[in-house]
Structure 1
Amino acid sequence: MPESLDCGIPYTLIFPDIEIKGKKVLIQLPDGLKQFSLTIANCIREKYGVEPIIHMESIYGACDLQYNQIFSILNPDIIIHIGHSEYPNYIASPLSLPENIRKRIVFVKALSKIDVDETLVLRALEILNSYNVKNISVALTAQHTHLYNKIFNIISNKKYNIIESNGLAPYYEPGQIIGCDFRPVLNKKIDGYIFLGGGEFHPLGLYLATLKPIAQIDLYSNTVRDFTPIGAKYYKKRLFTISKAMEANHWGVIIGLKTGQYRPFIINMIIKMLSKKQYVLLSSENINEINLRSIDNDWYDAFIITSCPRIPIDDLIDYEKPVLTPGEAYMALAGKIDNYMFPW
């Protein structure tokens, strides 16, 4: 049975049913949990008798484990990766996370201790009512997955038609989404979503993947907002960027080197798409405006990022040249913007 560990922080840590052993353990945390890193490290040391090392680098998900440097230099017995769900191993290349490495990584859930109040759900339903939504689904982030059934039951008791999510076992719980994978909640019958989670990262991805109304419940600020206008604004920006790229003849194809983000099947697909264009293959572990400008010159008309589909959306949306996801590149090269493709 999974083991629940309360370290005196606002999250309950759920360890899988495996033995935590070894003298050297590396702890990886998302940025939002790093403020509790010392408490978590001491808690794990006391519970399991291991020597923890806190990883300071930003970790954006299980596709960004950075194991190459970690195992070649520190060589820990185990990486304890807290707060993110395991990345489906069939999405990325097996080179990204070999099986002998995967066995040394422990994925630990961090469930928020904040409960959801029925009044917040009712306010979210009011927002969806304004869009005449009939079929509702619930989406949430990893730290709120234990609240799915509660929200589902509230909506059901109010006589709304709710479409259930079965998750994506063994990786995602019912209703759970990550920034680049929304399959557990995709259904053509769904008219709108109640999303449980903070910030704009996840609801924006959900909107771009569905183009459906979203009412967001943020438990950390105890607020409810209509996310639909925000998503629509980004959507219009993406269509404008795609339309600019339709005239591009010289392309830069960026190969991602982060763990879980090297996707050769996407790279090969794009090369075929560019058969009548001129292109250059580029590679980078960290793709941002600084290193993009370092390579950019008058030759390039547009860029395609083959690794994380959120980089063009969140980090490079205002770059003066089009920076596209693979799906957006397909639209630009096909000359079609009527069927938006996100995230792939």
Structure 2
Amino acid sequence: MGVSCKGCCKIIDDYMFDFNEVAKVIKNRKPRAVVLEAPQGMVRLLERLAEFLAEECLAGEDIEVYIRLEPSFGSCSVSFDVLDTMGNDIILVHIGHGEYSYPLCRGGACVYRIPDNIYLVEGEYLGGDAEALANKVIKVFEANGWSSTAIGYSIQHKRLANTVANLLSENGISVIAIDNVIGCNYYSLAKLMDRVDAYLVVAGGYFHALGLGLALSGSTPVLRIDPYTSGVEDIAGLVAKTLAKRYWLMQQAANASKIGIVVGLLAGQYRPWIAEYLARLADRRGVRYRFILARYVTREYLDNLSPDDYDAYVMVSCPRLAIEDFSDYWKPVLTPAEARIVLSGGIAGQQYTFPW
């Protein structure tokens, strides 16, 4: 794709990591240490990145470079605990995610900007055949008589998404908007549903595309554009199947007499205002509730509770936990918006919304 990777920039396994900006900050501030963290699929690259940063970018500097073993799930889980434990004379480099859309809460204060001792290095994917992907999209659009689209992308595929957008425009398809999406925020694209024939999501796997499909409640087609497999797929079937499952779970939860409202303790997942709103709805409906605090939620942790404690759970921490991790749990596990629908007096006639 003709990219330039110079200075403190490293390409590993078709991913480009540009440390130029953060290296300048590190040399200027001279922190006691630098900590690198990454999502699940990139943890395997951390040792090579740490070695590059220490030996190539910070040569001659007396600064230790650490790596964090636990994966990061998103910019909602930036590791403030590292700073709290090791001290603020640390610089944390969060790899593989872009800016977060919601507040980050720490020590009783919430901000919309990541602090200046935390830096984001996106990790751009350099693979993917933009021309081949665009040609496949054009064929799908021609077959369906579509002429307009909006494009979402996960942060690693920003350049590829923009290239695909340009190719589509050159071939007569109107690209209304293009924007980065995260798993719990699709508002900038979803609000355009009346202006586009179909959406495109450039990202590996189904995670981001399914999220947009749910945010649209299945009203507009979503095509999954996979840079790793060069696949182009209409996920209407997956969206319909997932929505059917979600409505079934809401029906089960409608009979709950006591619910557990899970409030996340990670910086970007602490949303007490949503939990309190759901608690007020529960009070009005005569449903008992308990706030449950957790940094991470697993099946094993929920199973530690007595089987009779709660009839259903609401994941205020991360709505994707309800969709992916707990969709087949033995008790209903809802997103905040699903809980709002259930606790507002009934499911019939209410528009499905995701996530809040």
Structure-1-length-normalised TM-score? 0.89
- Aligned length in residues: 332
**Is 1:180 the equivalent of 2:180?**
no
Distance 1:56 1:319, change over 3 A: same
**Is 1:71 the equivalent of 2:83?**
yes
- Residue 212 of structure 2: aligned partner: 206
Query: Which whole-Å deviations, capped at 9, do the CAs of 1:226-261 have from their partners, x for residues lacking one?
Result: 222122211211111112112222111111111211
Distance 1:93 1:7, change over 3 A: closer
Distance 1:137 1:60, change over 3 A: same
CA distance in 2, matches of 1:247, 1:130: 45
1:242-281 to 2 correspondences below 5 Å: 242-275=250-283, 276-281=286-291
1:40-59 to 2 correspondences below 5 Å: 40-45=49-54, 46-48=56-58, 49=61, 50-59=63-72
- Residue 336 of structure 1: aligned partner: 347
The letter of the residue matching 1:56 is L
CA distance in 2, matches of 1:105, 1:177: 21
**Is 1:37 the equivalent of 2:46?**
yes
Query: Which whole-Å deviations, capped at 9, do the CAs of 1:244-288 have from their partners, x for residues lacking one?
Result: 112222111111111211111111111111112111121111112
Q: Contact (CA 8 Å) 2:133, 2:232: kept in 1 or not?
A: yes
Q: Contact (CA 8 Å) 1:305, 1:312: kept in 2 or not?
A: yes
- Deviation, 1:86, is 2.4
Q: Contact (CA 8 Å) 2:258, 2:312: kept in 1 or not?
A: yes
Residue ranges of structure 1 left out of the alignment (5+ in a row): 166-174
- Deviation, 1:131, is 5.0
Greater displacement, 219-228 / 203-212? 219-228
CA distance in 2, matches of 1:136, 1:91: 30
- Deviation, 1:130, is 5.0
Q: 2:75 aligns to what SS in structure 1? A: coil
Query: Which whole-Å deviations, capped at 9, do the CAs of 1:64-110 have from their partners, x for residues lacking one?
Result: 12322x1243335200111111223x535464776798221111121
Q: Contact (CA 8 Å) 1:93, 1:264: kept in 2 or not?
A: no
What percentage of aligned pairs have identical amino acids? 30
Query: Which whole-Å deviations, capped at 9, do the CAs of 1:311-333 have from their partners, x for residues lacking one?
Result: 00010000121111110001112
Q: Contact (CA 8 Å) 2:75, 2:97: kept in 1 or not?
A: yes
Greater displacement, 264-273 / 92-101? 92-101
Residue ranges of structure 2 left out of the alignment (5+ in a row): none
Q: 2:246 aligns to what SS in structure 1? A: helix
- Residue 61 of structure 1: aligned partner: 74
Greater displacement, 96-105 / 51-60? 96-105
Q: Contact (CA 8 Å) 1:194, 1:217: kept in 2 or not?
A: yes
- Deviation, 1:63, is 1.0
What is the CA RMSD across the aligned residues, in angstroms?
A: 2.4
The letter of the residue matching 2:211 is G
Structure-2-length-normalised TM-score? 0.86
**Is 1:220 the equivalent of 2:234?**
no
Greater displacement, 55-64 / 128-137? 128-137
- Residue 81 of structure 1: aligned partner: 94
Q: 1:229 aligns to what SS in structure 2? A: helix
